Amino acid sequence: MNTELESLTNQIREESAFVDQIISEVSKVIVGQRYMIDRLLIGVLSNGHVLLEGVPGLAKTLAVKTLSQTIDAKFQRIQFTPDLLPADLVGTLIFNQKEGTFTPRKGPIFANVILADEINRAPAKVQSALLESMQEHQVTIGDSTYHVPEPFLVLATQNPIEQEGTYPLPEAQVDRFMLKLKIGYPSKKEEKTILDRMSNAWLDMGTPAAENEFDLRAVASITDIMKGRQLVKQIYVDEKVKNYILDLVFATRRPEDFKINIGQYIQYGASPRATIFLTLAAKAYAFLRHRAHVTPDDVKTIGMDVLRHRVIVTYEAEAEEISSEDIIKKIFDEVEVP
């Protein structure tokens, strides 16, 4: 077993080099925000969609667009608005007068990386149009089903501070996202770098001079991504770590079994999807660190992003201003680490 793990570790160190190249290229544009960049890559490597939440101006859209430029794959940005229709997303049937038949016209969803910008600006019928493609990697137009290209990744952004003209994502759809990220402000030092780097570039925005202002290169191919995913599948997870993941998820459902007195604050615990995603995300995080095995620290590092949108709090918790994040922190503090 140790020989196999050592061999896999050497292979991962060699094959995961493209990840460092991607991070290096993205860092030409994005200052700091390593947390966000790592999580976006975890989504890419583990076939999981990512929801980014943060106030305007924190480079959420720019980070996704920049990441897509470093991967030689098809990218589509879709601006979600209240008047958007499902057909604007997935496509529709167009009547061909000459032949007297309907032919499908595929929508922008048929790309490798989809940026769903301000996803909570569109009504539920448009949000639900994403569900089939996110879960099944296919789209139905008329009476025919079409597969989206692989890899397929939805990276969605939403603004948490404005409620007027927004449509909160239903829990069933939020659960489809592997990770929900809370993006924070940069430090003072990072913002000084942003000032120096972006103030002049801003004046050229939208002009020919702005095209590839930062000399970004596509340093990874679809083949690299698919190979990386195969290696992520092989990363070793010890039985003790698997049991730790199960304990964390079950503690959100039955905290009293772990002698954690927070049951009155939890309306619904994490779904079985959380167990799967927590394992996959921890494997992808280990891959980013060029390791062939998952540690409990990997699980704890990525755990909040997997669980924060899967634990639904009660009205009592809201009245006492206790969030799902507070509950998850308590669980991480109380559940025994192997």
What pLDDT shows up at residue 239? 93
DSSP string, 63-83: HHHHHHHHEES-EEEEE--TT
pLDDT (tens digit per residue) in 246-258:
999 999 999 888 8
Averaged pLDDT for residues 90-119? 84
Backbone Cα Rg of the chain: 21
How far is the C-alpha of 235 from the C-alpha of 258, rounded, in Å?
29
Q: Which of 322, 291, 326 is nearest to 307 (CA)?
A: 326
Would you say 324 and 311 are in contact if contact means Cβ atoms under 8 Å apart? yes
Q: How close are the terminal C-alpha atoms of the chain, in Å?
A: 20
How far is the C-alpha of 13 from the C-alpha of 46, rounded, in Å?
18
b/e string for 210-222 if b means 16 or more Cβ within 10 A? eeebeeeeebbee
Within the chain, all domains assigned CATH 1.10.8.80 are found at 235-334
b/e string for 67-97 if b means 16 or more Cβ within 10 A? bbbbbbbebebbebeeebebebbbbbeeeee
pLDDT (tens digit per residue) in 271-316:
889 999 999 999 999 999 989 889 999 999 999 999 988 888 889 8
Within the chain, all domains assigned CATH 3.40.50.300 are found at 2-227
Helix, coil or strand: residue 220: strand
Most confident listed range (52-66, 112-126, 193-207, 289-303): 289-303
What pLDDT shows up at residue 213? 60
How far is the C-alpha of 264 from the C-alpha of 102, rounded, in Å?
55
Does domain 2-227 match CATH 3.40.50.300? yes
Mean pLDDT of the chain: 84
User: Rounded to two decimals, what is the model's pTM?
Assistant: 0.86
Rounded to 10 deg, the angle between the 2-15 and 222-234 helix axes is 160
What pLDDT shows up at residue 305? 93
Most confident listed range (20-34, 99-113, 126-140, 224-238): 224-238
pLDDT (tens digit per residue) in 32-74:
778 888 899 999 899 889 998 887 777 777 888 888 888 888 8
What pLDDT shows up at residue 209? 46
Q: Which residue has the higher pLDDT, 245 or 133?
A: 245
Class of domain 235-334: mainly alpha
Strand partners, 92: 105
